[in-house]
Structure 1
Amino acid sequence: MATAIALLVLCLPIVTLCYVGFCVVSPWGRCRRCRPDGRNRTCRACDGTGMRPRIGWQLYVHFRRLHRDGTR
């Protein structure tokens, strides 16, 4: 049990930093609702572009706006 916890403590920050780096390098991903053809003009999730911001990027933008609005 202690080995599993130690492995989790070591791997979780590495996985998190890799995902953050991935979101910084490529903030836009393919829309899951439009996946088969890439573009669907009636898709409300991506407005027909076929691209959506990743969850990590959305969180980053949210916290950046929260910080900016709180320090004005």
Structure 2
Amino acid sequence: MSTAIVLLGLCLLAVTLCYLARCLVAPWGTCTRCRPGGKNRTCRACSGTGMRPRIGWQLYTYARRLHRDGTR
């Protein structure tokens, strides 16, 4: 039972690190609210660009701004 918990923890750590690496390499992803074939000019989520920042990148930017504002 304890080996299963350790393996689950290692898998969770690996998935998290891979997602963080993906957010650092390519912070912009395709917009899920637009139609899959192209850009929707009336989309409020991406302002019609078809690209929007990933959630991990948004959290990183929020934490960076919070730290910068707190240390001034």
Counterpart CA distance in 1 for 2:9 and 2:36 is: 38
Query: Displacement of 1:41 after TM fit?
Result: 0.5
Q: Which residue of the partner structure matches residue 11 of structure 2?
A: 11
> In the alignment, which residue of structure 1 is the partner of 2:2?
2
Structure-2 separation of matches of 1:55 and 1:48:
18
| Counterpart residue identity of residue 14, structure 2 | I
Shift in Å, 1:16:
1.0
| Structure 1 unpaired stretches of 5+ | none
User: Contact 1:41–1:47 at 8 Å: present in 2 too?
Assistant: yes
Indicate the residue corresponding to 2:56 in structure 1. Answer: 56
Question: TM-score, normalising length from structure 2?
Answer: 0.91
Aligned equivalent of 2:30:
30
- Alignment identity in percent? 75
AA in 2 matched with 1:51: M
Amino acid at match of 1:65: R
Query: What is the root-mean-square deviation in Å for CA atoms of aligned residues?
Result: 1.1
Aligned length in residues: 72
Measured in 2, the distance between the counterparts of 1:24 and 1:46 equals 20
Letter in 1 for 2:51: M
